[in-house]
Amino acid sequence: MRAALLVTLCTPSRATRPVAGRSGGTPWARRPARRYERRRPEKTPLHRIVSENLENWLEWREAAERLVPGYVEDELRGYLECGLLCFGFARARCTGCGQGFVVAFSCKGRGVCPSSSGRHMAQTAAHLVDRVIPLVPVRQWVISVPKRLRGFPADRLRAVAALTKIFLDEIERLLCAAAGVMSDAATPASARSRLGGISFLHRFGSALNHHVHLHACVTDGVFVPAAAEAGSDTPPAFLPARPITHVHLAALTERVRCRVIRWFRRSRLLDAAAAADMLAWENSGFSVDASVRITLIDRDVPSYFQSLEHLLRYCARPPFALERLFVTRDARGRITRVRYVLPRHKATNWVGPGRGRKSTRPGASGVVELTPFEFLDRLADLVPPPRKHRHRYHG
């Protein structure tokens, strides 16, 4: 067993913490103390699927000449050791009540472990709300590219960078026009109006499918630099944008489509015939959504589904939800089927594994059923490559 660590936690048993409200109300409230309960990942369906099928799945992939990337195998093996006391723990003590307990080491994984991914989601959202995003309205922008191009951003960092830059450039151009600010390439960088935003690259869809698309939380307006005579200490002024209409979105989507296809042509990822064919498509395959907007009134409402922190948690969320995962065993106790329940708003749009019109629709709740090996195949596709950013800052 690894050496244990002694950690002293300065957390009083009954803390008095601020509670924010929509308007007025008591600014301070006492919350009852809760005893620490160790999570038990070995009792979850995900841990049982991975632990019972990992070795056989690796051998099956090797026999089929579909080798599993090393970082995916390391991620899965690290998850099997996460949260288990037999692989190391820290001893902790609360200075308020004197309670002592042990905390198992975490794998700090990036795609499989629900605990590590959930912790990253919560910490990222809290940091962005408290320290990064100013007190201005925020709009979520989402773009997905045609299936013909989705494989390139999945394993090429420069394709992700190009798509993100083009998308954010066009959003900034639209926001400048909606805010009544004239800005062009000839304007010096120090005097140019800029947006502020954070982009998140998602490699997954809602049904455990591999779907590369981009989310961006962008200020719904632009920041205008102060005049030169105002002094260097004068902060930039924020100009809110007028409402975004479907006409604006259609024009932005068309500009993004042309620029992205041109970039893929110049980078020799598409030949001239393929690029011309995609530009001639009646349905371009590019989809842009900007329907979610967080106002200042809803920004800090706790437990409110339209708060800014809730939106950021959605953008930084893990690839799947553990509470939607279930297993079916046979008479000998072996896992035969893995069931993943889709979100309620996705159930009516789902069409079988092949997504064809002749496929059989699942039940009213929307369920994806897989074998354990098929589930591990999908899980391997959702693990992000190492040493690549999951969110970027802009403006």
pLDDT, tens only, 262-301: 999 999 999 999 999 999 998 889 999 999 999 988 888 7
pLDDT score of 326 more than 60: yes
Q: CA–CA separation, 252 vs 1, rounded Å?
A: 57
Amino acid 178: pLDDT: 93
Q: Are 315 and 200 in contact (CB under 8 A)?
A: yes
CA angle, residues 205, 376, 152, in degrees to nearest 5: 50
Amino acid 350: pLDDT: 41
Range name among 12-16, 86-90, 222-226 with the lowest pLDDT average: 12-16
pLDDT score of 180 more than 80: yes
For 295, phi and psi rounded to 5 degrees?
Answer: -85, 170
Q: 320-329 contacts: CB < 8 A, separation 24 or more?
A: 320/204, 320/208, 320/382, 321/114, 322/44, 322/45, 322/46, 322/114, 325/44, 325/45, 325/46, 326/45, 327/45, 327/48, 327/49
CA angle, residues 65, 69, 72, in degrees to nearest 5: 130
Q: Are 374 and 344 in contact (CB under 8 A)?
A: no
**Which DSSP symbol is given to 194?**
B
From residue 205, how far is each of 145, 208, 209, 210 by CA, in Å? 13, 6, 5, 6
Instruction: Identify the bridge partners of residue 139 per DSSP, sorted by sequence position.
Output: 218, 293
Q: Are 234 and 226 in contact (CB under 8 A)?
A: yes
Name the H helices within 128-271. 147-155, 157-178, 246-266
Compute the mean pLDDT over every residue in the chain, rounded to the nearest whole number: 84
Q: 51-57 contacts: CB < 8 A, separation 24 or more?
A: 51/80, 52/334, 52/335, 52/372, 53/335, 53/372, 53/373, 53/376, 54/80, 54/376, 56/373, 57/372, 57/373, 57/376
Instruction: Identify the bridge partners of residue 9 per DSSP, sorted by sequence position.
Output: 94
pLDDT score of 359 more than 70: no
pLDDT tens string 22-69: 444 444 445 566 677 888 999 999 999 999 999 999 999 999 999 999
Residue-wise DSSP of 287-328: EEEEEEEE-TTTTT-TT-TTSHHHHHHHHT--SS-GGGEEEE
Q: CA–CA separation, 54 vs 79, rounded Å?
A: 11
Average the pLDDT over 295-308 and give the result.
80
Amino acid 344: pLDDT: 66
DSSP3 helix / strand / coil % (the chain, rounded to 5): 35, 20, 40
pLDDT score of 166 more than 60: yes
Three-state DSSP class for residue 262: helix
- Burial of residue 322, with CB atoms counted within 10 A of its CB: 0-12 exposed, 13-18 middle, 19 or more buried: middle
pLDDT score of 360 more than 90: no
Q: How confident is the model at residue 142 (pLDDT cuts 50, 70, 90)?
A: very high
- Tally Cβ neighbours within 10 Å of residue 134: 10
- Reported as half-sphere exposure (CB side, CA atoms, 13 A), residue 194 has a value of 14
pTM reported for the whole predicted model: 0.83
Amino acid 74: pLDDT: 95
